[in-house]
Amino acid sequence: MDRLLITNVNGFLGAGLAAALVDQFEVLGLGDQAPADARCRVVGPVAADSDLPAMVHESAPQWVIHCGSVARSSWDWGPSTAAHDEADKLASLAAAAGRLTVLSTDAVFTGPRLFHAEQSPVRDGDPLVGLVRDLETAALEAGALVVRTHAYGWSATASDDGFAQRAWNALEQGQPLRLSADRHASPIFVDDLAELLLRAYRRNLRGLYHIAGGERTSQHQFAVELAVACGFDPARIVPLRRESEGGTWTREETSLDSRRARRALDAPLSLVREGLARFARRQPNAHSVHPMPVRVAA
């Protein structure tokens, strides 16, 4: 069985990927502790000053999935300058890994364009977008697969709730939600992303690809669909529009065109309701990860 190392297994993305892929690989993780039910072995921390390439070299994995500082969706985007250090380490990381997949963000885009392709122009004038592009460039020059995505899932820890779980928490607690009807993206459930990443690994895919959901949706509509899937009252979710707020939203259109990946992987992209139906099946224990086994991909 091949060995897979995932960085930041305490984040919802790393934890979800670890749980979904554990039947296909011996899964190792970098994090402060093993996420509940993920069945992966933590081999080191993810502190900013840790020697990531050395830790990877010692673990000798055939595949590394790097869920670094830019592996968060536009709806969860938290600015970080850690990408500076990561970009400098990626060449060494790629050399230490058998194969390297670097997860990136859809937050490099904005409207009015819909369904951004890999070569679509990114947002101008934002230094953080420049950091993301520097990291992506370093990974591509090192021969890695770089995947821009917009993933969601259940959090491994209460401190790392993503947009979907924050919405679920509010609904479960009976709180009203006011969410943008203008900000659109193409979300993908982490289990579905894991299956496509596995296909990419087995087909030796390299370069820059968009791997996201097959539909674009707004924050408001996504939360409404989530409420229906999880058995909550969607009437508590109120749409916000730019006109009512008297301003403009940033990063309002970050939907990704994933057709190139779909052709390369010969696999369909999940629709919003399909992904949320799988998300809903995990809800009885919101802070544990209960994955469906990833199907063996060609």
* Residue 252 binned pLDDT confidence (cut-offs 50, 70, 90): confident
Q: Does residue 290 register a pLDDT over 50?
A: no
Residue where the block lists tokens 């093993």: 34
Mean pLDDT, rounded, for 194-218? 98
Q: pLDDT tier at 293 (50, 70, 90 boundaries)?
A: very low
> 65-106, pLDDT tens digit by residue?
999 889 999 999 875 655 667 777 787 888 888 899 999 999
For residue 58, what pLDDT band results from cuts at 50, 70 and 90?
confident
Mean pLDDT of 104-109: 95
- State the pLDDT at residue 32: 80
Residues 6+ apart with CB under 8 A from 77: 105, 107, 251
| pLDDT value for 96 | 82
pLDDT, the chain, mean? 86
Let me know: does 192 contact 275? Beta carbons within 8 Å.
yes
- One of 3.20.20.100, 3.40.50.300, 3.30.1490.20, 3.40.50.720 is the CATH number of 3-161+185-216+253-275, namely 3.40.50.720
pLDDT score of 89: 78
Main-chain dihedrals φ then ψ at residue 61, nearest 5 degrees: -80, 155
Dist CA 252 CA 2 (whole Å): 40
Percent of the chain with pLDDT over 90: 62
Average of per-residue pLDDT across 269-289? 81
Torsion of CA 52, 57, 59, 62, to 10 degrees: 110
pLDDT tens digits, 111-163: 788 999 999 999 888 888 888 999 999 999 999 999 999 999 998 666 678 99
What would the 3-class secondary structure string for 217-286 be? EEHHHHHHHHHHHHCCCHHHEEEECHHHHCCCCCCCECCECCHHHHHHHCCCCCCHHHHHHHHHCCCCCC
- All structural domains of the chain with their residue ranges: 3-161+185-216+253-275
Nearby residues of 234 by Cβ (< 8 Å), 6 or more positions away: 223, 224, 227, 228
What's the pLDDT score for residue 249?
47
pLDDT for the residue numbered 289: 42
